[in-house]
Amino acid sequence: AQKVTQAQTEISVVEKEDVTLDCVYETRDTTYYLFWYKQPPSGELVFLIRRNSFDEQNEISGRYSWNFQKSTSSFNFTITASQVVDSAVYFCALSERYNQGGKLIFGQGTELSVKP
Amino acid sequence: NAGVMQNPRHLVRRRGQEARLRCSPMKGHSHVYWYRQLPEEGLKFMVYLQKENIIDESGMPKERFSAEFPKEGPSILRIQQVVRGDSAAYFCASSQNEQFFGPGTRLTVL
């Protein structure tokens, strides 16, 4: 069965600190997809990134970076120089495919609070 | 370039009433997914539909819940005889590739 674990329920940092959100997944599939979504206080879900299981290159997008380690089944998310606007709940998710029926299996989410 | 639309954004029902949640996918998207977010929990998959077909309903409660995605019009998630435990945020997503989520409907059952 597929499972996603986000062990950190809540994280609180001070603005400009770096913060890493952990995500560990379980799957028996050899091909799968990993995602991160952001849920700000307004409640909507914002897509951040998709990563394929066969592409272990790390990715950087501005202050955001993602570290995919297949050997440890982890897909961690780092925010550099955090800002108050980064305060949100962040969800990691797993799917056996990303189109045509790829239902997402979500972790419990990590609530990030960035204080000024 | 409208995103996924859901209405209503907030819905209050008394126990025993029916709740109808609507989802209009992004233009060009023919796949719709419904997820439920219970208080203090993550999102759980409920059902996946294509036009006029339910493809995967493995996450749907066995009773009182149904979903449709007609040829014309929005996808509907219907909850009959609501109970307090149905209070949650219900999210719809549509896709051709990535799943893009709507703003959600917050259902409160009194």
Would you mind telling me the total number of residues written for chain B in this entry? 110
Cis peptide before B8 (omega within 30 of 0): yes
pLDDT (tens digit per residue) in B6-46: 999 999 999 999 999 999 999 988 899 999 999 877 899 99
Q: What is the CA radius of gyration of chain A?
A: 14
Cβ contact B104–A44 (<8 Å): yes
Q: How confident is the model at residue A99 (pLDDT cuts 50, 70, 90)?
A: low
Cβ contact A37–B101 (<8 Å): yes
Give the max Cα distance, chain B. Answer: 38
pLDDT of res. A57: 82
- Using CB atoms and an 8 Å cut-off, which of residues 51-90 of chain A contact chain B? none
Q: Is the dihedral of CA B51, B55, B59, B63 positive or negative?
A: positive
How far, in Å, CA of B9 to CA of A112, rounded?
A: 25
Q: What is the CA radius of gyration of chain B?
A: 13
Residue type, A52: N
